[in-house]
Amino acid sequence: MAKYARSPLAPEAFPELPVIKGARFASHAAGVKYQGRTDVMMVALDAGSSIAGVFTKSSTRSAPVLDCQEKIGGATDEGAVILVNAGNSNAFTGKAGVESVQAITTSVSDLMETPISRVFTSSTGVIGEPMKHDRIIAALETLKGKLDENGLEDAAHAIMTTDTYPKGACATFEVDGKTVNIAGIAKGSGMIAPDMATMLVYIFTDAKIDQADLQALVSAFTDSTFNCITVDSDTSTSDTLLMAATGASGATVSHDTKAFRDALHDVMLDLSHQVVRDGEGAQKFVTINVTGARNNAQAKVHAMAVANSPLVKTAIAGEDPNWGRVVMAIGKSGAEADRDLLTIRFGDILVAEKGWVSPDYKEEQGAAVMKEQEITINVDLGLADGSSTVWTCDLTHTYIEINADYRS
């Protein structure tokens, strides 16, 4: 159970996820760190499942991340298993961390009769503490016995750390007269500034798709979803996104299948927004739109500078329409900007233009926007046609409380 109150930005309820044929799920309380709650989940995938993944680019990434990176892109004719634990990230644990991964993957391989090259693990939680992998290994037999195609929601609970709610999203559509389902879960609340966040994502589909095509889509869509969110500008050592396609629906898709592309992007965007909505201590969901940049890459630099600014985020938390802080963030970003071409809007309210506050702007207009739970900040640089949209949340005192006692 979450220690802190459920985020006010959370969805009303966990979605009813469709069954993904060819995938079975189990969860168990192994006592890795937490007592009295599930903290390990297992996924068993049918033979022939394609698996794609994207991972943190952190220079201090964890042993499970390094192991998964080596395995992605391998043969797909055998079954596969994903095993995830919460409470300990098995990061910055040196040789012991590698040995923990080897012990867990070997045990899973033996029990599930799956090649070790098709056993993928993830760990999330405290950095720098030795993994009590014997507790996970002791739970494997129980997990195997619990495997069920309806267990994905329980799995979403099992991977939580400081999350205040489990995160799920899904889509169902038709391809050549056959029904295709996509369902995904995610965890993430703090240490969120993905560079591929502590963020874990697992997405499953019963479509049949070549591994290279699946990898191309997952990589591309990560850039416009999970790589466009930030809670606190910190990139985790453990960020992992794994997607599996079982092929059990009988429908074949490719990189160019529009219905599949649209549905997958929607699921990934939904999950990424839910991570921001559960940002530690978040009270407001903020969209930053930057247009008129020299190119899209520079637009994103500007947008992330605004989204990551503690001064911008605390102003939003205090419902202070301090547009000067947006000007500051644009100016410090390092991307090209011209003060006298800059236009800023809070929602639809024109706040500043041509290097100065708009003559028609009234402070109470901006203040009214800042009282809303969902806020949009629009910045036009007036240089060219580059654009970017990113999502963030406000920065409240609860963020400090959560992270001050995170290990206690």
Q: How far apart are CA 257 and CA 254, in angstroms?
A: 5
Q: Catalytic site residues? A: 198
Q: How far is CA 206 from CA 22, 180, 245, in A?
A: 7, 6, 6
Q: Which residues pair with residue 392 across a beta bridge?
A: 286
Determine contact, residues 207/283, Cβ cutoff 8 Å.
Answer: no
Neighbours of 258 (CB within 10 A): 10
In sequence order, the 6+-apart residues with CB closer than 8 A to the CB of 62 are: 89, 90, 91, 92, 93, 97, 123, 237, 238
Cβ-in-10-Å burial (0-12, 13-18, 19+) of 54 comes to: buried
d(CA 284, CA 305): 18
List all residues 6 or more positions away from 125 whose beta carbon is below 8 Å from its beta carbon: 32, 33, 85, 86, 87, 88, 89, 161, 198
- DSSP secondary structure of 131-190: --HHHHHHHHHHHHHH-BTT-HHHHHHHT-SS-SS-EEEEEEEEETTEEEEEEEEEE-SS
Q: Centre a 10 Å sphere on the Cβ of residue 11 and count the other Cβ atoms it contains.
A: 15
Q: Is 346 exposed, middle or buried (0-12, 13-18, 19+ CB in 10 A)?
A: buried
**132's tokens:** 């009590």
Cβ-contact 46, 206 below 8 angstroms: no
**What are 81's two structure tokens?**
């298993």
